Chains A and B, each alone.
Chain A
Amino acid sequence: MKKFRGSSDYVASQELMNAVNVAIQLQKPLLIKGEPGTGKTMLAQSIAESMDMPLIIWSIKSTTKAHEGLYMYDTVQRLYDSQFGEGDVSDIKQYIKLGKLGEAFTSDEQVVLLIDEIDKADLEFPNDLLWELDRMEFFINETKETIKTKHRPIVIITSNAEKELPDAFLRRCIFHYIEFPTEDKMREIIKVHFGNVDKKLVDEALKAFYDIRHMRDIQKKPSTSELLDWIQALQIAGCDVKKIADEIPYMGVLLKKNQDIETAQAYRFRR
């Protein structure tokens, strides 16, 4: 049994690695929740990379329907073909287009399937996928064909907790909540991304970053990805390291709302 051990550009906590391996061994979907920017989506990429498997991403939008992930039957194309005498119309198969889930099921090798932001979809969406995710098979009505997995894909599902997911669905998943990285963990992440950065700069930047995150009135807290952008900006601009925590240059990289920027500035003057 292959095991996930993190990859070179992704810092996974021990608990997260455990959760991934539990899900792989028990062959159940892994549901990952956490604040935006804690690397939920990156996780799937990292698993695919470290286990050397192809990654199939199914990004869920508010309009996504469950069956779109399985297959689509292109009736219109078939009708057109029949009228213009093109293609072999009697062969329905060629008008069946597999969706992302179908793709993952029919793959010749084991794949990692990422169902990204499942909570974006309709409330009923997860329920519609219960059978397919449980049995890893589905039936194509038009061709009377059952699509079965050759190799059970590793299914990673992410959620931002915009909607609550149905119990029946949750029961079938392994669940892990990614905590926001602590300062030490964050240092590790920064190291993975930038190699050796000026330690002073990282110290100051982290101090400012966690200060801002702890301000009470901030509506949209800056996340890991914003911190990384910010550090890059600081590096390029070559700011005076001592002033970072006090002046917070390029605050716009960290905070995206006018209100938040004002709040942060107000805090600064108070000190």
Chain B
Amino acid sequence: MFIEFFNLLRLHGLKVSLDEWLVLMDALDRGMAENSLMEFYYLCRNILIKSETDYDKFDMAFAEYFKGIESVDEIPEELKQWLSQDELERMIDDMPEWAKEYDLDTLRQMFKERLEEQNEKHDGGNYWVGTGGTSPFGHGGYNPAGIRVGGTGRHQSAIQIAGERNFRDFRQDNELDTRQFQMAFRKLRQFSSRVDTAKTELDIDATIDATCDNAGLLKLVYEKPRKNTVKLLLLMDSDGSMRSYSRLCSQLFQAVNQSTHLKDLKIYYFHNCIYDYLYTDPYIIDGRWIETDWVFRNLGSDYKVIIVGDAAMSSYELTARGGNINWYAWNNEPGINWLKKFSRFYHKVIWLNPIKESRWNHAWGARTINMVREVFPMYELTLDGLDKGIHKLLTN
């Protein structure tokens, strides 16, 4: 079996599982590739690829695998067997009347001729719409109007389509697996029934009591549903040394942003350390900010705070007045004091550091990392660290 294609897909970072591969084999055995590489291309994509963000990688792998193939003879033996086997069955079974006159060899010959005609570029395979009706390889099965009923030409256009890489825009390399982070954030819940909503949930204990009081006649008692009361303030270090972790951070950001179960979520940004202002977007532009004091005034101490940053900076940025790396935003109070203000005001604060814990004492900025660690409990920004951190946020 042309297992190399499978390996190649995996090499391109596509998480194709053996299950899916076997399903594809099954589909091919049933002749579902409709004797054309075009159908084969879509069949593979439908079965193996589960996100449009992976379409581009798939196109690249497909093009790479089938690129060298210029003629029918070069199609990998296994694949050709499938295709021709299918051809035979179709000839006998449900080829249209007029097509049955050809024997397999003639068909092959025509395949080749057709292929030679098709050397110019076609527009994403649409070219075939017109020619459909005339090709003996056109098997109407999939399309009533005889659309794309080309013979081998389709294998070329399949590669062309793959070569065009129409799905490049969908590619999001930062898209990795936010799901795991999301699952971690789901643990960030504290339930309370003291929320103003209608009483919609059956209170079983109270119902039993009320029913007993009611001499055994059923009496239903409802209560308010329990709601998550966790409010989260997320502060992210952006720019500078954090750039190398941008992928990890954007994963975290996406996960938090999609956590719909939080009662409130506020996100602000800073550069290296927190001073008088917090920025409202990750571009860190002067003026697009709010006063840090505003946060203290408006976001109560019941907010849980997660600060994300590498905490690696020059130590004067933490300790000196005017130590702000941004020349125009003079700070009267050293950064470390601002951090301490946070830890005094908010009861639950954790610091997530994308630098691995094992390197906190050796990495560049080890000195400031440890100064920050004295203020906040610090965890590494991994699934594990996030788990621990969230646990910390929830326990007393």
A92 within 8 A of B: no
Asked if A18 meets B218 with Cβ closer than 8 Å, knowing A25-B32, A33-B52, the reply is no
B258 within 8 A of A: yes
Q: How far is the CB of A62 from chain B (nearest CB, A)?
A: 8
A31–B183 Cα distance when bound, in Å, is 22
Please tell me if the beta carbons of B143 and A5 are within 8 angstroms of each other in the complex. yes
A62–B225 Cα distance when bound, in Å, is 15
A14 / chain B contacts, CB cutoff of 8 Å: 142-143, 147-148
A167 / chain B contacts, CB cutoff of 8 Å: 15
CB neighbors of B among A15-40 (8 A):
15, 17-19, 21-23, 25-26, 28, 31, 33
A239 within 8 A of B: no
Q: How far is the CB of A27 from chain B (nearest CB, A)?
A: 10
Contact partner, A177, options B52, B142, B148, Cβ 8 Å: B52
| 9-residue interface stretch from B5-13, B18-26, B64-72 | B18-26
A139 within 8 A of B: no
Please tell me if the beta carbons of A26 and B27 are within 8 angstroms of each other in the complex. yes
Q: How far is the CB of A143 from chain B (nearest CB, A)?
A: 22
B186 / chain A contacts, CB cutoff of 8 Å: 123
A15 / chain B contacts, CB cutoff of 8 Å: 42
A95 within 8 A of B: no
Proximity bits, A160-191, B CB within 8 Å = 1, else 0: 00111011001101111101000000000000
How many of chain B's residues have a CB under 8 angstroms from any CB in A?
Answer: 38
Please tell me if the beta carbons of B27 and A22 are within 8 angstroms of each other in the complex. yes
B39 / chain A contacts, CB cutoff of 8 Å: 18
| 9-residue interface stretch from B43-51, B341-349, B357-365 | B43-51
A19 / chain B contacts, CB cutoff of 8 Å: 42, 46
Select from chain B the residue with minimum beta-carbon distance to A164: B179
Please tell me if the beta carbons of A22 and B19 are within 8 angstroms of each other in the complex. no
B23 / chain A contacts, CB cutoff of 8 Å: 26, 28
CB neighbors of B among A124-163 (8 A):
162-163
Asked if A175 meets B141 with Cβ closer than 8 Å, knowing A15-B42, A18-B42, the reply is no
A3 within 8 A of B: yes
Please tell me if the beta carbons of B27 and A25 are within 8 angstroms of each other in the complex. yes
Q: How far is the CB of B29 from chain A (nearest CB, A)?
A: 11
Please tell me if the beta carbons of A171 and B17 are within 8 angstroms of each other in the complex. yes
CB neighbors of A among B129-176 (8 A):
141-144, 147-148, 166, 170
B19 / chain A contacts, CB cutoff of 8 Å: 171
Q: How far is the CB of B196 from chain A (nearest CB, A)?
A: 18
Contact partner, B218, options A17, A79, A177, Cβ 8 Å: A79
Q: How far is the CB of A114 from chain B (nearest CB, A)?
A: 18
Please tell me if the beta carbons of A171 and B43 are within 8 angstroms of each other in the complex. no
A76 / chain B contacts, CB cutoff of 8 Å: 218, 220
Q: Which of A62, A76, A80, A164 has the most CB of B within 10 A?
A: A164
B279 within 8 A of A: no
A3–B144 Cα distance when bound, in Å, is 10
A83 within 8 A of B: yes
A88–B125 Cα distance when bound, in Å, is 64
Select from chain A the residue with minimum beta-carbon distance to B220: A76
A5 / chain B contacts, CB cutoff of 8 Å: 143-144
Q: How far is the CB of B134 from chain A (nearest CB, A)?
A: 18
B144 / chain A contacts, CB cutoff of 8 Å: 5
Please tell me if the beta carbons of B30 and A123 are within 8 angstroms of each other in the complex. no
A19–B144 Cα distance when bound, in Å, is 16
Contact partner, A18, options B43, B55, B217, B258, Cβ 8 Å: B43
A234–B373 Cα distance when bound, in Å, is 64
B182 within 8 A of A: yes
B43 / chain A contacts, CB cutoff of 8 Å: 18, 22
Please tell me if the beta carbons of B42 and A123 are within 8 angstroms of each other in the complex. no
Please tell me if the beta carbons of A123 and B183 are within 8 angstroms of each other in the complex. yes
Q: How far is the CB of A15 from chain B (nearest CB, A)?
A: 5
Select from chain A the residue with minimum beta-carbon distance to B260: A62
A33 / chain B contacts, CB cutoff of 8 Å: 51-52
Q: How far is the CB of A26 from chain B (nearest CB, A)?
A: 6
A171–B26 Cα distance when bound, in Å, is 15
Please tell me if the beta carbons of A162 and B258 are within 8 angstroms of each other in the complex. yes
B178 within 8 A of A: yes
A102–B55 Cα distance when bound, in Å, is 34
Please tell me if the beta carbons of B142 and A18 are within 8 angstroms of each other in the complex. yes
Q: How far is the CB of B217 from chain A (nearest CB, A)?
A: 6
A31–B177 Cα distance when bound, in Å, is 19
Which 10 residue pairs are nearest across A and B when measured between Cβ atoms? A177-B52, A170-B50, A175-B50, A164-B179, A19-B46, A18-B42, A5-B144, A174-B46, A79-B218, A22-B46
Instruction: Write the residues of chain B forming the contact surface with A, with a CB cutoff of 8 angstroms.
Output: 15, 17, 19-20, 23, 26-27, 30, 32, 39, 42-43, 46-47, 49-52, 55, 141-144, 147-148, 166, 170, 177-179, 182-183, 186, 217-218, 220, 258, 260
Q: List 21 A-B contacts (CB under 8 A).
A: A3-B142, A14-B143, A18-B46, A22-B32, A22-B47, A25-B32, A26-B23, A26-B26, A76-B220, A123-B183, A163-B182, A163-B258, A164-B182, A170-B51, A171-B17, A171-B20, A174-B46, A174-B47, A175-B50, A177-B55, A179-B166
Given contacts A17-B142, A26-B23, A123-B179, 20 further A-B contacts (CB under 8 A): A3-B141, A3-B142, A14-B143, A18-B39, A18-B42, A19-B46, A21-B142, A22-B32, A22-B42, A23-B46, A26-B47, A28-B23, A76-B218, A79-B218, A123-B183, A164-B179, A166-B179, A174-B47, A176-B46, A177-B55
